[in-house]
Amino acid sequence: MGKRDYYVVLGVSRQAAEDEIKKSYRQLALKFHPDRNPGDKEAEERFKEAAEAYEVLHDSQKRQIYDTYGHEGLRGAGYSGVRGFDDIFSSFGDIFNDFFSFGGFAGQTRQRSAQRPGDDLLVTLNLSFEEAVYGTQKDVDINTMTTCVECDGSGAEPGTKQTTCPACQGTGQVVQSQGFFRISTSCARCQGTGRVLVSACKQCQGQGRLRKKKSVQVKVPAGVDSGTRLRLRGEGESGYRGGPSGDLYVRIEVAPHPHMERDGDNLYTKISISFLQAIMGDTLELPTLDGQKTLTISPGTQPGEVVRFVGEGVPKLRGYGRGDLFVEVEVRIPKQLTPRQEEILKEFMELDREKEKHKGKRWPWNRHKEHEKDAMRGLDQEANPS
């Protein structure tokens, strides 16, 4: 009995689009699937017939040959049709997963994709204090798995390809019967993919990847600090058999500064001045990360006073603007004096005492005694009212 017209088999017109052909095949495959029609030989034949028609009509080259020369043209081009269920499930496994995802059939292929994503990597990048504050660009060398150039990640020797796994017949699963139970496990030979290499790539031994050193350029934004992590998408290990690459995480470690400390976006430093500069005031040049800044010491500055430079701190990593720079003033007290310095300071002390006397300033203990006398007078007046 001759083969039926493929368009008739699928119930579509000769002008049918690919989506219409696929939709029709979905309905027929669902209707005549062997698991829904156990022991029905006619349903099995209709199932194979629909699969063969779909295989030809969804392929543009096969369809063109068929439209021009019919079944004889396909045979002349080397197409022999569908040989069995294994061919169907192997060729259209992804389509069957779509069709029957609601329940799953025993005969349905359970192929697992050979593609797997690559692993993420973590490296540490050491920066100077200034590099962390203002940002920089660094090259990081990593030892990682990269896609094999020889086979382009397929794992197959150039000129060869994959074929149906003979151990699981392309289903990706091996079924074992134990009494009344049937246990399905992933095929060990093909790792559940349903496909095996005819000849493995000699360069990567069929892995599709090789371990190599590569350099990755890292752009470090201004304002990072120790513990900051930067994520570079797709710069981790290459995926397996064409899978997506993992990510590269860069952990920042910042060296301390010899004269400055950082707290968030603010910077803190100290400056030492003489007691005479504190008394008389002065103008100094203060070294900062942005260069020299003018620091004005007001007359009478006390030890521990803090001068604030707004916007001279660290750029904000998230947001706009910068933190502040805080400068603590330390006053140096000389431990040794020359005779002339002692003479001048003694004269200064005498002048300071005279100044205090003219102000009428009393020591705190004298003030306390005066308060006590006033209180006693008040008590006497209450006891002896006039």
CATH number at residue 146: 2.60.260.20
Residue 380 has pLDDT above 60, yes or no: no
| 95 and 20 in a common domain | yes
On the CB side of 88, CA atoms within 13 Å amount to: 22
Residue the block writes with tokens 């030989």: 41
Q: Is residue 344 part of a domain?
A: no
pTM: 0.56
**pLDDT of res. 378:** 45
Residue 365 scores a pLDDT above 60: no
Q: Is residue 338 part of a domain?
A: no
How many domains is the chain built from?
4
Same domain, 266 and 237: no
Specify the CATH number for the domain of residue 95.
1.10.287.110
Same domain, 28 and 71: yes
Same domain, 249 and 265: no
The answer to whether residue 115 is domain-embedded is no
Mean pLDDT of 120-137: 94
pLDDT of residue 180: 46
Q: Does residue 280 form part of some domain?
A: yes
Same domain, 148 and 265: no
pLDDT tens-digit series, residues 188-233: 888 777 888 888 888 888 888 888 999 999 999 999 999 999 999 9
SS (H, E, C) 220-288: ECCCCCCCCEEEECCCCCCCECCCCCCCEEEEEEECCCCCCEEECCEEEEEEEEEHHHHHHCEEEEEEE
pLDDT at 164: 86
Give the separation between CA 261 and CA 269, rounded to whole angstroms: 7
The more confidently predicted of residues 198 and 88 is 198
Residue 177 lies in a domain: no
Q: Same structural domain for residues 95 and 34?
A: yes
Same domain, yes or no, for 317 and 362? no
The overall average pLDDT reported for the chain is: 81
Boundary residue ending a domain (219, 236, 254)? 254
Q: Residues 143, 53: one domain? A: no
- Verify that 224 and 303 share a domain, yes or no: no
Q: How do the residues of the chain divide into helix, strand and coil, expressed in percent and rounded to 5? A: 30, 25, 40
Q: Which domain holds residue 246?
A: 121-161+198-254
Q: Are residues 22 and 61 part of one domain?
A: yes
**84 located within any domain:** yes
324 and 227 in a common domain: no
Q: Is 137 in the same domain as 250?
A: yes
171 inside domain: no
* 17 within domain boundaries: yes
